[in-house]
């Protein structure tokens, strides 16, 4: 079965965005050691999973070739197939992306059971919260930025029950970000 990873930028106090979706707290210049870490994380990934609202900005931004990104990174982001989780879209308006709707648990379990490499979710907030709530992720990669914002969109929503995780690695990088890699503890 494929591994389903989450990679998300977060503040020290656990937010992935401000109250209005602001991400001005994100460390903009990644150091070479962090870029190397992310490249290794992506080696096994062959599908990106996105929520619809994030996809609306994410896919066109990478298609435009954002400044400061390598040609290889831009090509990888554009060439890697995407699955957009949405109940409001009937079909994908973007190239190299399909839409999956309906019951999230069934959809994710179907994706995980298909042959192929690993899956990675980058967000957005509603999707991340739902994936965590339903315990659908196999790995959490939290990129903790050296900032606090006090309020906003939490990585971990109000959960009905506690969830436990095992720390696999904690690695600080020259740019100030610390990557925390967790795996859920499941019976």
Handedness of CA 170, 171, 177, 181 (dihedral sign): negative
* Angle at CA of residue 81, ends 79 and 84, nearest 5°: 130
Q: What is the mean pLDDT of residues 126-152?
A: 95
Those residues whose C-beta lies under 8 Å from the C-beta of residue 178, and which sit 6 or more positions away, are: 143, 144, 170, 171, 172
Q: Number of C-alpha atoms within 13 angstroms, CB side, residue 124?
A: 20
Q: Is the bond leading into 124 cis (omega within 30 degrees of zero)?
A: yes
pLDDT of residue 14: 94
Can you say whether residue 121 is alpha, beta or left, with left for phi > 0 and alpha for psi between -120 and 50 degrees? Answer: beta
pLDDT by residue (tens digit) across 71-114?
A: 888 999 999 999 999 999 988 999 899 999 889 999 999 999 99
pTM, to two decimals: 0.93
4-184 adopts what CATH topology?
Dihydrofolate Reductase, subunit A (3.40.430)
Is the confidence at residue 187, as pLDDT, over 80?
A: no
């Amino acid at each position: 079965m494929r591994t389903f990873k989450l990679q998300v930028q977060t503040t020290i106090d656990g937010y992935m965005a401000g109250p209005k979706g602001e991400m001005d707290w994100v460390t903009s210049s990644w150091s070479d050691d962090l870029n190397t870490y992310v490249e290794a994380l992506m080696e096994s990934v062959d599908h990106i999973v996105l929520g619809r609202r994030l996809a609306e900005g994410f896919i066109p931004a990478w298609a435009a070739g954002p400044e400061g990104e390598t040609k290889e990174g831009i090509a990888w982001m554009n060439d890697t197939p995407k699955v957009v989780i949405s109940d409001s879209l009937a079909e994908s308006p973007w190239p190299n992306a399909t839409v999956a709707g309906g019951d999230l648990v069934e959809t994710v379990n179907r994706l995980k059971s298909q042959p192929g490499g690993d899956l990675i979710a980058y967000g957005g907030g509603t999707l991340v919260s739902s994936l965590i709530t339903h315990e659908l992720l196999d790995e959490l990669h939290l990129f903790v930025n050296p900032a606090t914002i006090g309020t906003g969109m939490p990585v971990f929503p109000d959960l009905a029950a506690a969830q436990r995780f095992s720390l696999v690695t904690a690695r600080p990088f020259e740019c100030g970000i610390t990557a925390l890699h967790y795996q859920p503890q499941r019976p």
